[in-house]
Amino acid sequence: MKTKERILLGSLNLFNANTASEVTTNDIARELKMSPGNLYFHYKNKEQIIRELFKRLAQETIEVWKPETRLAKKNQSFHLVEFIDKNLQLYWKYRFFHRELYTLRKKDPELSKLWRAHLKKLGLMMIVLYKHWVKSGYMTPIKSKNEMEFVGELLFVSSNSAMQFFETVDREPSQKTVEKAKRHLMRMLTPYLTGEVKAEFEKFIQ
């Protein structure tokens, strides 16, 4: 494994296990049993490491969403529960972002720009998916623009905060944390679903 990769993976583990804003580059170097000088040769500071990790999170998220938007544009069906699960697995993998996003963005304007660009891209893809879900009979049409904005914002707020909440209330955060978050997101979406998809969601929730 290349040194840059080791640094990213080691930093991710430290950030997830601790508080990213308090972890130092010396902590990372110590964890990886390398000199601070070696670490600085690859990354000049912690902010650069965090930005690289965020770029990975954004790219891996797009890799989950792109196949679904392609299917949507072709009017082909896909498994909505599985789509939600894949997204939450990424939230779990990079959970320190959602736990400390406000603080990290406040300290690094460049990270904030990356985050806003990522949200904008996901918002456009969400529109494609929503139109497909309605056309396929997965969802009921949302005619009010205000209601549409509410549902979209609620989905992003819930998905970003659910993992943070359950990670803090569980004594030992684990994959059960992901399942709790998934159940609550599905419950939130259920009133807007129809037919077999709604029945599938209700069965999972119960």
Asked if 133 and 31 sit in the same domain, the reply is: no
Number of domains in the chain: 2
139 SS3 class? strand
Asked if 52 and 37 sit in the same domain, the reply is: no
Asked if 4 and 58 sit in the same domain, the reply is: no
Q: What is the DSSP code string of 10-24?
A: HHHHHHHHS-TTT--
Percent helix, strand, coil in the chain, to 5, is 80, 0, 20
140 SS3 class? coil
Asked if 6 and 58 sit in the same domain, the reply is: no
CATH number at residue 38: 1.10.10
- One digit per residue, pLDDT tens: the chain, 206 residues? 799 999 999 999 999 988 898 999 999 999 999 999 999 999 999 999 999 999 999 999 999 998 888 877 777 776 788 888 898 889 889 989 988 888 999 999 999 999 999 989 988 888 888 888 888 888 888 888 888 888 888 887 777 777 677 666 665 666 777 888 888 888 888 888 888 888 888 888 87
Asked if 23 and 112 sit in the same domain, the reply is: no
Selection from 17, 140, 125, 138 nearest residue 73 by Cα: 125
Q: Residue 193 pairs with which residues in a beta bridge? A: 139
**167 CA to centre of own chain:** 14
Q: What distance, in Å, lies between the first and last C-alpha atoms of the chain? A: 44
CATH number at residue 118: 1.10.357.10
Expressed as residue numbers, the domain containing 189 is: 47-205
Asked if 87 and 179 sit in the same domain, the reply is: yes
Asked if 51 and 40 sit in the same domain, the reply is: no
Asked if 26 and 61 sit in the same domain, the reply is: no
116 SS3 class? helix
Asked if 4 and 103 sit in the same domain, the reply is: no
Asked if 70 and 109 sit in the same domain, the reply is: yes
Asked if 39 and 51 sit in the same domain, the reply is: no
pTM: 0.87
Asked if 21 and 76 sit in the same domain, the reply is: no
Give the residue carrying structure tokens 């699960």. 85
**Residues 6 or more apart whose Cβ sits within 8 Å of residue 116:** none
The pLDDT value given to residue 41: 94
Distance CA 52, CA 150 (A): 31
